[in-house]
Amino acid sequence: MNKPAPFQAHNSACGAERKVMTWIKNVAQVFEKVEKFTFSLICSVTALIILVVLGTTILGSLRLGLIAWCVFMALSVSKFLVSVPEVTGLLTINIFSGKLIPYGTGLHFRYPWEQVKEGNYINLQVITEDMSESYPAQDGPEMILKWSFQYRPYLNFLERYISADDNTIKKGFKDVGSSILSANIAGFKAGNCKKNQQAIEKELKREFEEMKPTPEELYGTELVRVSLADVDYEPTVQAVRASEQVAAILRKIATAIRKDHPEITQKDAMNAAMIIHGKIQKNVVEVEGHGGEALAALLIAMSRGGGK
């Protein structure tokens, strides 16, 4: 069955359009073998010759030809040059091949068929992400870990960078860090986690250094820094430990009181210790800045009744 004439005409037009586009692509590929600066210079000189010739032959004026060339250059210069702001990268798009071409900070020559889009200007500044996570130690208590990682887009891999959003990149780095931190904390008792903070940080950094595929290959980013800022007990455990420390102080004060006054019972000594401890807390600000000796002298004096 023969197709209607309109369909045949449409197919013929599409075929002709494809041939024209193929020819343009081939021509563009030939020009791309020439350096961008050289190509821009050739276009500029060619335009100058054509417009000067037209100006002198048709308009009869060399001046008009030069003016026409200046106007042409003013209107077309943005097609041959691109300016990239500081700490910024740019991905241009070759509209014929679809290839993405990265440009760093500064002024660059480009081919007119490299499309520049506002959304393809990429900030190359360092991005910092702070993390706060809790994991159980070997003997049970929850430990709070504060760590961070810093990264920035890698100019040579901007195509990979724009293919993944920031949330994907941050989650990927977070998962790598969390896996090694949770395993390390689980290997220490709570009391030893703080003492081994440097060792845990070293393992964290090593994990990122040996990351496969690398951050460049995976996200088009450069990992600038990874650090473990702090390891400590979670708030409720900290409160319990603080209470234990206070109790220890009270026992020491009570022991000192009974040493000087054996007739006082342990219960009364503890009550007196709590009163003295309260006064110490009230007056500690007065000796702050005078060093540990002043605080120790105050503690001894008050335990002997001389804190008035």
Q: What is the pLDDT of residues 26-63, one digit of tens each?
A: 666 766 777 888 888 888 899 888 888 888 888 778 88
Q: Is the pLDDT of residue 176 over 80?
A: yes
Give the count of alpha carbons within 13 A of 267, CB side only.
Answer: 0
pLDDT category at 13 given cuts 50, 70, 90 is low
Q: Could you give the CA distance from residue 235 to residue 278 in angstroms, rounded to a whole number?
A: 23
Residue whose entry in the numeric block shows the structure tokens 């343009």: 24
* Residue % of the chain over a pLDDT of 70: 68
Confidence band of 171 (pLDDT split at 50, 70, 90): very high
Q: What is the pLDDT of residue 141?
A: 80
In the chain the domains, ranked by start, together with CATH numbers, are: 32-122 (no CATH), 126-233 (3.30.479.30), 237-303 (no CATH)
- The confidence score (pLDDT) of residue 119 equals 79
Which pLDDT does position 131 carry in this prediction? 92
Instruction: At 278, give phi and psi (nearest 5°).
Output: -65, -40
d(CA 294, CA 225): 43
Distances (CA, A) of 109 to 26, 67, 100, 190: 21, 24, 15, 60
Which of 24-28, 148-152, 193-197, 252-256 bottoms out in mean pLDDT, i.e. has the lowest? Answer: 24-28
User: Between 214 and 271, whose confidence is greater?
Assistant: 214
Question: Rounded to two decimals, what is the model's pTM?
Answer: 0.62
Q: What is the spatial distance between Cα 293 and Cα 282, in angstroms, rounded to a whole number?
A: 18
Structure tokens that stand for 51 in this block: 């417009």
Q: How confident is the model at residue 97 (pLDDT cuts 50, 70, 90)?
A: confident
- Tell me the C-alpha distance between 167 and 270, whole Å: 56
